[in-house]
Amino acid sequence: LCYNLPILDTMLKQPGSRALYMFPTKALAQDQLAELRETTGGLQRGIKVFTYDGDTPVDARRSIRQAAEIVITNPDMLHTGILPHHTKWISLFENLKFVVVDEMHSYRGVFGSHMAHVIRRLKRVCRHYGADPVFIMCSATIANPGELAEKLGGEPFRAVTENGAPGGGKYFIFYNPPVVNEELGIRRSSLNEAQRIAGLFMDQGYKTIAFARSRLKVELLGKYLRERETKKVRARVVRTYRGGYLPRERREIEEGLREGRVDGVVSTNAMELGVDIGELDVCVMSGYPGSIASTWQQAGRAGRRNKESAAVLVASSAPVDQYLVRNPRYFLEQSPEMGLINPDNIIIKAEHLKCACYELPVAMREMADNPETVEILDFLEENRFLHRVEGRYYWVAESFPANEVSLRSVASENVLIIDTTGSRTRIIGEMARSSALTMLYEGAIYLHQNVQYQVHKFDFAGCRAYVRQVKVDYYTDADLAVDFKVLTVFGEDKTPALGKKWGELMVTRMPTIFKKIKYRTHENVGSGPINLPEEEMHTSGFWLSLAPPVVRDMSNQEKEYALMGLANLYQNLAPIFLMCDSNDIGVVPQTKAVDTGLPTVFVYDRYPGGTGLAEGLFKVNAQVMQAALELVSQCECRGGCPSCIGPPQLVGEATREKVVNILRQCLRRG
């Protein structure tokens, strides 16, 4: 309502006005279309509302371009299907009064950095046609809505943060699985406990959604729930939902939930956004979702229509989970994290400058106050993408640049997953190339809708993984070797105990071996080599180096163990303060780093060029260290466990006290 009412009012008073609505997914756009058509059905004159995305029939597109008063789309379609063809959209751009960007909190990291440039390109095209639309951005709760809107939109915004939405009561349950090995501090699997709890709710007739942190865990949890036997109730219909499924399959699952044909669904954060999936009663989260904002988003999927509901956070043994389950007040009272983006990522900026030049020539005066952008334009001219005439850069290459840029990643290549089981091959999904390194190597077990596939060939250069159906009692997990060197230092700070810096890194990654892990018991039942080339990546990173007095009394092995414990804490706790997933960062401890000569922990951004996480961590490092100290000090283990610094067999028996001592010195002497 916050944007529909003023926009519809303007359209009734000023016939001919246009509006552009953007949602991060096609499913959300379809939801808004149905809602808007219901709202406008009773108006004194009809408002023509249409979606325009990859599913729009070709024969309908021309009439939509000419007649639509409200165009509902997604950033990807705006990027590839509207802006490059703006001459076909003259009636929209000449009369554009409003641009709505909903679910703004989802535009963070890589996606948000791309989105900032898409909006800049949109505003250029609007200016070309004499339009100056009002931008309205809507977000779930984040700590910096005004700042994020300004970075996305490139201009000041006014933040309206009062919440008047009605809602039913919600029970929020923090559940810590019992310890099964006191000596090692190992708890019962959060995945198995989530399956048990979700199953109990479904047995009582409650519609349930369960979230897991990865595609593999989603498929495992779905498999466990389907296999669950009970004599008291009929067989429950449980579906899994994640990225990589084909659109038709996802729409079928959403429809099954809305119509009540599905009793439960297990999802990655793909179902975290506001797509209409009907009335659900319970949300079960297997492990902390990765940010406070995401946790509230997932919990909010149950009880969305003023009904009482329950949300259960089943803690894993990870330090961040244990910190939150032991400090629920911290979670409930903590303001959500900041949404961080980096529009200045040079790789992303260069790709969108290509697109901008294709759409309209770029004049040097537009970039007069941005010498880095001029350098990129000159580079593109030297490489014959552009031609400069009288201070204007024109696109001259034969390629269509928007097709070469994926908004969801820095590198646009996806790996197609091809099933070769029968006589006819078929594509069953796709995966980002960076993820495929550790999930689609030859010998890997790939799970898709409870069906097991084994990768028998991986064409890394051609981005094709060929799989066959198998029946085995294990899944696979890969180890990744990481090395890097410092290229540039952008910021630094030093205290008697600690030196911290952030800057540009060259990261080299190579998968080495994979393990076969038995279902349910998680036993290691075998291993094998991975033969893939190493990948190099320029990115940003943060690193902290310990001064010699802090580790003076430690042997080299004790330093190594202490750094491993410290790295484990950073891997798990830093994302709380950065509003990112733990998979968005990598953490590497080095006993004597080449660049510093000191014991050092490196935290790097997993995306080429970086997305703002390194600079963010540089600013909040003291808060991360304080949280780490509280977690380790409060842990009930003897010498270390998976819930704090890591298990003793990996970090040694006496490491916990050394990590506590390091943290205290760094905080006290900082």
Calculate the alpha carbon distances from 120 to 85, 116, 124, 317 in Å: 16, 6, 6, 43
Are 329 and 350 in a shared domain?
Answer: no
Please report, rounded to a whole number, the percentage of residues in the chain having pLDDT higher than 70: 93
Quote the radius of gyration of the chain (alpha carbons, Å): 26
Are 127 and 175 in a shared domain?
Answer: no
* Comparison of pLDDT for 481 and 137, the residue scoring more: 137
Residue 464 maps to a domain? no
Angle between helices 556-578 and 655-668 (to 10 degrees): 60
Partners of 409 in beta bridges: none
**402 HSE (CA, 13 A, CB side):** 19
Q: If residue 431 lies in a helix (H) or strand (E), which one and from where to where?
A: strand 426-432
What's the length of the chain? 670
Euclidean distance between CA atoms 419 and 560, whole angstroms: 44
Confirm if 476 and 245 have CB atoms less than 8 A apart.
Answer: no
Residue that is last in its domain, among 87, 118, 153: 153
Are 84 and 227 in a shared domain?
Answer: no
DSSP 338: P
Confidence band, pLDDT 50/70/90 cuts, at residue 117? very high
Are 496 and 620 in a shared domain?
Answer: yes
Residue that is last in its domain, among 376, 404, 432: 404
Residue 529 maps to a domain? no
Give me the helices (H) in 534-598, please. 556-578
Q: What is the average pLDDT score of the chain? A: 87
Q: If residue 479 lies in a helix (H) or strand (E), which one and from where to where?
A: strand 474-494
In this prediction, residues 237-262 reach a mean pLDDT of 82
Nearest to 138 by CA among 128, 126, 149, 151: 149
Residue 438 maps to a domain? no
Euclidean distance between CA atoms 108 and 99, whole angstroms: 19
Q: What is the pLDDT of residue 275?
A: 67
State pLDDT tens for residues 132-145.
999 999 987 677 88
pTM above 0.75, yes or no: no
Are 80 and 195 in a shared domain?
Answer: no
Confirm if 99 and 20 have CB atoms less than 8 A apart.
Answer: yes
Distance of CA 664 to the CA centre of its chain: 33
State pLDDT tens for residues 329-339.
878 876 666 67
Euclidean distance between CA atoms 74 and 22, whole angstroms: 5
Are 206 and 289 in a shared domain?
Answer: yes
Burial 150-184 (b: 16+ CB within 10 A, else e): bbbbeeebeeeeeeeeeeeeeebebebbebeeeeb
State pLDDT tens for residues 448-470.
877 899 999 999 888 899 999 99
Residue 395 maps to a domain? yes
Number of domains in the chain: 4
Are 315 and 358 in a shared domain?
Answer: no
SS percent in the chain: helix, strand, coil, step 5: 40, 25, 35
Are 73 and 137 in a shared domain?
Answer: yes
Q: Which tokens go with 384?
A: 């014959």
Residue 520 maps to a domain? no
Residue 198 maps to a domain? yes
Confidence band, pLDDT 50/70/90 cuts, at residue 42? confident
Q: What is the pLDDT of residue 641?
A: 79
Nearest to 79 by CA among 356, 414, 270, 340: 356
Are 144 and 226 in a shared domain?
Answer: no
Euclidean distance between CA atoms 507 and 461, whole angstroms: 20
Confidence band, pLDDT 50/70/90 cuts, at residue 489? very high
Residue 58 maps to a domain? yes
Confirm if 562 and 555 have CB atoms less than 8 A apart.
Answer: no
Q: What is the pLDDT of residue 274?
A: 62
**272 HSE (CA, 13 A, CB side):** 23
Residue with token string 């349910």: 520
State pLDDT tens for residues 346-359.
888 999 999 999 99
Are 394 and 543 in a shared domain?
Answer: no
Question: Which residue segment(s) compose the domain that 121 sits in?
Answer: 4-153
Euclidean distance between CA atoms 670 and 649, whole angstroms: 32
Q: Which residues contact residue 206 at a Cβ distance below 8 angstroms, ignoring those fewer than 6 apart?
A: 281, 282
Q: Which tokens go with 623?
A: 């808060």
Residue 470: other Cβ atoms inside 10 A: 13
Residue 110 maps to a domain? yes
DSSP per residue over 361-422, as a string? PEEGGGGTT-HHHHHHHHHHHHTTSEEEETTEEEE--SS-GGGG--TT-SS--EEEEEE-SS
Q: Which residues contact residue 345 at a Cβ distance below 8 angstroms, ignoring those fewer than 6 apart?
A: 113, 410, 609, 610, 611
Residue with token string 């799970």: 447
Q: What is the pLDDT of residue 268?
A: 86
Confidence band, pLDDT 50/70/90 cuts, at residue 169? confident
Are 87 and 177 in a shared domain?
Answer: no
Euclidean distance between CA atoms 405 and 411, whole angstroms: 8
Residue that is last in its domain, among 380, 404, 428: 404
In this prediction, residues 46-64 reach a mean pLDDT of 90
State pLDDT tens for residues 66-115.
999 999 999 999 999 999 999 999 999 999 999 999 989 888 878 898 99
CATH number, domain of 137, equals 3.40.50.300
Residue with token string 């004499």: 130
Euclidean distance between CA atoms 69 and 91, whole angstroms: 9
CATH number, domain of 392, equals 1.10.10
Are 325 and 350 in a shared domain?
Answer: no
Euclidean distance between CA atoms 337 and 573, whole angstroms: 13
